[in-house]
Amino acid sequence: MTNQQDTTAFSRGDRIAVTLFAVFFGLYLINVLLGKATIVFGWKTYHIGNVGEFLILFAASVAFIVAALHREAVRKLTRKPDQE
């Protein structure tokens, strides 16, 4: 018996959670790069700050965990009885 999974079919919940993760992580990455540019080049750009960075990274982490748990729940629901 082979242990193969269908990884091409993502549910709507999976797509939403992964999209939220990508958006929040992208915002975090842009903020970090803008902060670095402010230091290196002396630009006067908007910087969210420490608390904002924490909240954005926290939201990205939660979205990633939700996507993983949702995917696992869907896999358990669609698993055949003979699979472990």
pLDDT per residue as tens digits for the range 18-42:
999 999 999 999 999 998 988 899 8
Locate tokens 């954005």: which residue?
56
Tell me, yes or no, whether 58 lies in a domain. Answer: yes
What is the span of the domain harbouring residue 16? 12-76
pLDDT for the residue 75: 85
Q: What average pLDDT does the segment 76-80 reach?
A: 80
Q: What is the pTM of this model?
A: 0.74
- pLDDT given for residue 7 in this prediction: 54
Is the pLDDT reported for residue 4 higher than 70? Answer: no
Q: Is residue 81 part of a domain?
A: no
Domain presence at residue 6: no
**DSSP label at 8?**
S
With cut-offs at 50, 70 and 90, classify the pLDDT of residue 6.
low
- Considering the domain boundaries, does residue 83 fall inside one? no
> Would you say residue 5 lies in a domain?
no
Number of domains in the chain: 1
Q: Name the token pair of 46.
A: 């908007």
- DSSP structural state of residue 83: -
Q: Which two tokens stand for residue 9?
A: 């079919």
